[in-house]
Structure 1
Amino acid sequence: MAFSPDGKQIALGSSDKTIKLWDTTIGDLQKTLEGHSDWVSSMAFSPDGKQIASGSDDETVKLWDTATGDLQKTLEGHSDWVSSVAFLPDGKQIVLGSDDKTIKLWDTAIGDLQKTLEGHLGWVRSVAFSPDGKQIASGSDDKTIKLWDTVTGDLQKILEGHSDRVLNMAFSPDGKQIASGSDDKTIKLWDIAKYSKSSKFLRRPFARHFKLRPCREIQTSEPVYNLEFSAYNQYLATNIGPIMLEGIAMDKRDRHLHSLHSLFVREQWIFYGEAPFFRLPSDFQSSSSDVQGGQVAIGLRNGQVFSFDIDRHLLQSMLNAPVTIE
């Protein structure tokens, strides 16, 4: 599932081969998008919220108009299921990762295939664009992350260090770091900015020798399937809770604006930071979730979806309130 950029819609992909688009304010089903012939395995909104891209086990990606629900384009070319989808920050391109071990870059306006990036030895589990759109990162079952030049398609760097498949990655807001989660129960932080000067002279024949090691490793209690940097790199928001990043300087005027903790769903609980505060009924088995600000959406295995609006300021004031014992 995924929230739209403005938080007014939730899109949900399912094994029933459809995508359903819901209004988060009143909870109404707006559209049912039909056309895939197999499971919907990945999904993303465009940055302006006007399109949804859905990847499927049917080896295609479909682009939909969020206002009308019309199918705009079907992108075909992969020889296995599409496991990850990401839009370029300007929305003009989309990158797809597949279990056929390749990454494909498409033009969203005309639907043309622009580049096929080859080099991974295993399934491509995740793809991401840098904030400036100049780099693509791809994580794979071959335990590596590869950085590619968006314009030329050249392989720039290989990030090695995980001992199991790479499940997810995220660029920091300033584009200087990448965080990656793996089945090896670690999060690794990579400082890619310090190598930018030397790497810009690299071309594909030399890139395979330009391998980076992580600058920091964080042990986790379980694999991290979802992660993203918070504003100003203060912490990593993950499926197992927020992970603070030490040594990050913040301007004093920004501390108040970004002092609220993140919300996340784990097992039967909704957490605020490290504090569980709402328990789902035992028969509510969560299969997917997404969070945007104070909005939480949870998809259940029985096909139901629950959406919550949570006042994080109120939760914060309750946590800060003094406890009186009489």
Structure 2
Amino acid sequence: MQTPPVTELSTRAREIFRLVVEGYLTSGQPVGSKTLASDGALNLSPASIRSVLAELEGLGLLAAPHTSAGRMPTEGGLRLFVDGMMQVAEPSDAERQAIERRLSAPGPIEAALEATSAILSDISGAAGMVMVPRREPRLAQLSLVPLSPDRALAVLVGEDGGIENRVITLSSPVMASALEQASNYITARLNGRTLAQAAAAMRAELANGRSQLDEASRDLVERGLAVWSEDAARRPVLIVRGQANLLDETALSDIDRVRSLLDDLESKQSVAELLDSARDADSTRIFIGSENRLFALSGSSIIASPYRDREGKVVGVLGVIGPTRLNYARVVPIVDFTAQSLGKLIG
């Protein structure tokens, strides 16, 4: 059933609908006519309220999960509320400062991504997610340090000061001079380039015989490139934190839905593809329940926002996933602000 636009609802129906949705998002429980009448905001009898609730149910905006129970919004009702009625609550100064403080802690960008997913989980009470940026960092230096006759340590230094180490296996014992020659050769071609760009340039030189490297050093260059390229291919596309938040008391009454959601999160590639669809959004996007095929069974919602580097280019997407009763008004601006804060750290 296609839900009507909010403008077609009477003032009374809009107010009752708003109270039901807000009450449900706060408690996770259906809201009944007696509850609405007792708070005094409507100045209507329970019978009058029940009549409007029945009307809203007939329009497909509300549903009664059990006979004689209260009403809760349908997915269509939530969409109507989010798009046409919701009043967002901007993050408090304390929340802004907490987000910026945790993101600005010293360390590589991976640590900031981990912190971002944890922040989103802590504040939303759901699970936080961050897509790892597709863009590779600019590199400054690669050093090969001998560890044993058949092993060496490849130390990669980024322009942002980040340092990562990988152990490579040597095909035969190599002199320290060959390690130094290969290190200098790679570093000279890394400056200001991504690994992929540097690798393409080096392989072209080696293939065309333009390099002055001896056979041992050429082998080291190839092995050094291989270990870093392999590592990049294995890096996770998505960081998820706070899955345990999804197992609250309300969720345990619908354990099949929660199990389906956790299975979705285990399949990170599928969730990452959904997040990726928010890359071109001008602002935060909200996916509610079966609006997306991936969450048709789990009945979950995602609030997602792209984050940009200092040049304004989208480099990733972050967000929150949880039950459809997420506190959208509070979480949406938190996600948006966190995306802006993370973007400031991306070079």
Q: Is the shorter-chain TM-score for this pair beyond 0.5, marking a shared fold? A: no
Tell me which interval the TM-score lies in, with the shorter structure as reference length: under 0.3
Structure 1 or 2: more helix by fraction: 2
Task: Point out which structure has higher relative CO (alpha carbons under 8 A, 6+ apart).
Answer: 2
Structure 1 or 2: more strand by fraction: 1
Q: TM-score, normalised by structure 1?
A: 0.21
- Larger radius of gyration, structure 1 or 2? 2
